[in-house]
Structure 1
Amino acid sequence: MSISNNDVQHVAKLARLNLTAEEEQTLTGQLNAILKYAEKLNELDTENIEPTTHVLHVSNVMRDDETKESLSIEQVMRNAPEEEDGQFKVPAVME
C-alpha cells in the first residue's frame, strides 16, 4: 500500500489545510515511509501470541457495590436553598 499525491491533497482538503506542492511531496514521502515501516509488522510470527487490548495488565480498581442506608428526605433537604413538597425548588428555566 502506498500514498499518492492525490491522497495527500484529498486529506488536506478534508482537513482544510492549504499545502504547497513542496509540502505535499514531503508529506507523501513521510507517509509512505511510515506505511513501509508498519508493513514490517506483517513479517512477525504471531501464531502463538494471545491477542491483548493493553500491553500491561490492567484491573478494575473500583470497590465492590455495597448496599447502604440512604439519607432521609429531611437530611437531604437541609442542603436545599429552597424546598417545596420534599423537592428542591429551583428557578424556572422555561417560561
Structure 2
Amino acid sequence: MSAISREDVVHLSRLAHIEMTEAELDKMAGELAVIVDSIASVSEAAGPEVPATSHPIPLTNVMREDVVGPTLTNEQALMNAPDSADSRFKVPAILDGE
C-alpha cells in the first residue's frame, strides 16, 4: 500500500483550510493511496533506457513557401465594417489616453 495515511490527509486538509468529515477523510486517504500507487507503478516502467516523450507519435512541422496570394483591397476589407476612419477599422478606445 501507499505512504498516504489518514493522518496525512488530516494534515493536508488543515493546511488547505478544508473541513472534512470522518467519512471524507477515510475515503480521501484511500483515493490518494490509489493515486500514489498508480504513479509509483508508472515510475517503475520508465527507466533510464526509456526516453522521455511528450507525444506518443513524433511531430513534424509542416512548412510551405511564403507566397503572397490574392488579397483584399483596403476598400473591400472595410466594406462591411461598422465604422472606419482614415482607411482603418474604427473601434472604441479601451485604454486611457496613455
Please, what TM-score do these two structures have when normalized by structure 1? 0.60
* Match status 1:73 vs 2:79: no
Taking CA–CA contacts closer than 8 Å with sequence separation of 6 or more, which of the two structures ends up with the larger relative contact order? 2
- Report the CA distance between 1:93 and its aligned residue: 5.7
Among the aligned pairs, what percent are the same residue? 27
Q: Deviations over 1:14-67 (max 9, x none)?
A: 3x6432112202221332233234323454472322221122x15357663623
Q: Which amino acid aligns with 1:78?
A: M
1:31 aligns with 2:32: yes
Kindly tell me: are residues 67 and 10 of structure 1, through their superposed partners in 2, closer, same or farther at Cα, counting changes over 3 Å? farther
Name the count of aligned residue pairs: 93
CA deviation vs aligned residue, 1:52-83 (integer Å, no higher than 9, x gap): 1122x153576636232543212212122232
Which residue is 1:49 aligned to?
50
Q: Which deviates the most, 46-55 or 85-94?
A: 85-94
**Aligned AA (2:3):** S
- Aligned partner of residue 51 in structure 1, secondary structure: coil
Specify every segment of 5 or more residues in structure 1 that has no aligned partner in the other structure, as ranges: none
> What SS does structure 2 have at the residue aligned with 1:23?
helix
Alignment RMSD (CA, Å): 3.4
Q: Distance between the aligned counterparts of 2:91 and 2:46, measured in 1?
A: 64
Give the distance between the partners of 2:95 and 2:36, measured in 1 at CA.
55
Indicate the SS of the match to 2:25. helix
CA positional deviation for 1:86 = 1.0
